[in-house]
Amino acid sequence: MKTSIISYGLKKQGATKEYPFGPEIIVLKVGGKMFALIFEGAEDEFRLNLKCDPIIAENLREQHDAVRPGYHMNKKHWNTVMVDGSLPLSDIFDMINHSYDMVIGKLPKSVRESILEMK
């Protein structure tokens, strides 16, 4: 599952994979800004931090035990998703989409347009 999640995130326009916090944390970025952090763990059981609109973040936390306030992040704007099989992969992909869209939407217009023009 971890491999699928990383691959999905890297398919996003302009996404890059980095290791700024060491080899055990994969960081997916767009325009130099983080949109996903993937913490070391087993293939099917690990943590994933994703940016989220604060209202949606609260709703997700209320609806799913696997969604918690962001681990080592601004808890208002980030969720930690426990990838343990309790959430469908499609829901996790939707959360990745939302995180990516939030981050790319905050980039300067020129940076955002150059990323969206990439092939």
For 13-29, the pLDDT digits (tens) are: 999 999 999 988 999 99
Identify the pLDDT of residue 1: 87
Q: Compute the distance between CA of residue 43 and CA of residue 52 in angstroms, rounded to an integer.
A: 24
The mean pLDDT value of the chain amounts to: 94
Identify the pLDDT of residue 119: 63
Predicted confidence band of residue 72 (pLDDT cuts 50, 70, 90): confident
Q: Are 29 and 35 in contact (CB under 8 A)?
A: yes
Q: Are 32 and 106 in contact (CB under 8 A)?
A: no
Q: Compute the distance between CA of residue 17 and CA of residue 102 in angstroms, rounded to an integer.
A: 18
Q: Compute the distance between CA of residue 113 and CA of residue 15 in angstroms, rounded to an integer.
A: 14
> Model pTM?
0.94
- Reading the block at residue 108, the tokens are 């300067």
Identify the pLDDT of residue 40: 78
Q: Compute the distance between CA of residue 16 and CA of residue 7 in angstroms, rounded to an integer.
A: 11
